[in-house]
Amino acid sequence: MNWSTLFMTTIRMPDHAAAYIKGLELERAVLWMGILAVSAMGAVFTGLTVMMLPLPPEFPRLFAQPFAHFAAGAGGMVLFAHILTWVGRALGGTGSLDDMTKLIIWLQAVRVGLQSFGLLLLVSVPVLGSFYSLITVILSIWILVQFIRVGHSLPGSGTAVVVLIATFVGLIVGTSLLLTLIGVGSIGLSPNV
């Protein structure tokens, strides 16, 4: 299956696309390269977005740094794939870390493609671009649920939604603990508070 066919299959029949991607035999080094490549594409997209549509002043300047987005994207995908694998297995799934990583990488590549078109639409027809962005988010969540269902061989989409929610809770708690341990939570606060 070529890239464009897989892209369209992902949009129209995500379960078929997930089964195809899950069946690919890829070495771990290829998965790491995929994570880096998709993170780099996301960082370039973010950089272009910030150049075309400047951030409001209330946003931290960190959002305007493509390297920060690259690091957060790569780290986030690795963390998300691990937590998704653990939670899915805890709830009866059978997917491996490699399976979930392949699916997450492909989903991110599809999202960058969809968002790139959305940015062009947002610049040319802002109202239509905003609506397209909302549809893209909803579509991405639906695709992710189907990818989780197929990736973990779960019996239904309901179980996949539970895995997704539990994964997000785990991701938020884990990230909060990590940031607290490295001292991010106390930046800017007086030690006497």
pLDDT over 80 at 50, yes or no = no
Q: Which is more confidently placed, 165 or 115?
A: 165
Residue 65 lies in a domain: no
Residue 183 has pLDDT above 70, yes or no: no
Residue 152 lies in a domain: yes
Phi-psi bin for 148: left (phi > 0), alpha (psi -120 to 50), beta? Answer: alpha
In a domain, 163, yes or no: yes
Q: How many residues make up the chain in this entry? A: 193
Indicate whether 100 belongs to any domain. Answer: yes
pLDDT band at residue 154 under the 50/70/90 scheme: very high
Residue 103 falls within a domain, yes or no? yes
pLDDT at 193: 52
Burial of 151-162, coded b for 16+ CB within 10 Å and e otherwise, reads: bbebeeeebbbe
Domain membership of residue 47 (yes or no) is no
CA 173, CA 166: separation in Å to the nearest integer? 11
Please compute the mean of the pLDDT values over residues 147-172 and round it to a whole number.
Answer: 93
How many angstroms separate the CA atoms of 68 and 70, rounded? Answer: 5
At residue 123, the pLDDT reads 82
Q: Does residue 69 form part of some domain?
A: no
The answer, yes or no, to whether residue 113 has pLDDT greater than 60, is yes
Domain count, the chain: 1
For residues 91-108, one letter each, b for 16 or more C-beta atoms within 10 angstroms of the residue's C-beta and e for the rest, the string is: eebebebbbbbbbbbbbb
pTM, entire model:
0.85
Answer whether residue 151 is part of any domain. Answer: yes
68 vs 99, higher pLDDT: 99
What is the span of the domain harbouring residue 177? 3-25+79-184
Banded model confidence at residue 116, pLDDT cuts 50, 70, 90: confident
Q: pLDDT at residue 32 above 90?
A: yes
**What confidence tier does 106 reach under pLDDT thresholds 50, 70, 90?**
very high
